[in-house]
Amino acid sequence: MPFTRLYVYKKAGAMTGHRFTDDVAIVYAESIEDAIKMFSKLYADVTADEVEPVMFNSKDIAILTDY
């Protein structure tokens, strides 16, 4: 059975004209390449530097922002 994990797509400033402008989405995928393919169904020009595996800390919380 393939191992799936949670991946996040993050793009800063993507949502112009909205109160919050960053765009974030998550998906279960078998690899980062598969995650990029899945995100590309909804988003144009998804790049590998915008997609990463979701990591949970010791308190089982995933912080998706970079600050």
Name the amino acid, one letter, at 57.
N
Domain-located, residue 66:
no
pLDDT of residue 64: 85
pLDDT of residue 14: 76
The DSSP bridge partners found for residue 21 are none
pLDDT of residue 67: 64
In this structure, are residues 6 and 53 in contact, taking their beta carbons and an 8 Å threshold? Answer: yes
- Report the alpha-carbon distance of residue 36 to residue 25 in Å, rounded: 11
Number of structural domains in the chain: 1
What separation in angstroms does the CA of 23 have from each of 5, 60, 66?
Answer: 20, 23, 13
Domain-located, residue 40:
yes
The domain of 32 spans 5-53
Domain-located, residue 26:
yes
- In this prediction the pTM is 0.82
Query: For residue 38, is pLDDT > 60?
Result: yes
Residue 11's nearest CA partner among 28, 31, 1, 25 is 25
pLDDT of residue 59: 96
Name the amino acid, one letter, at 62.
A
Query: For residue 1, is pLDDT > 60?
Result: no
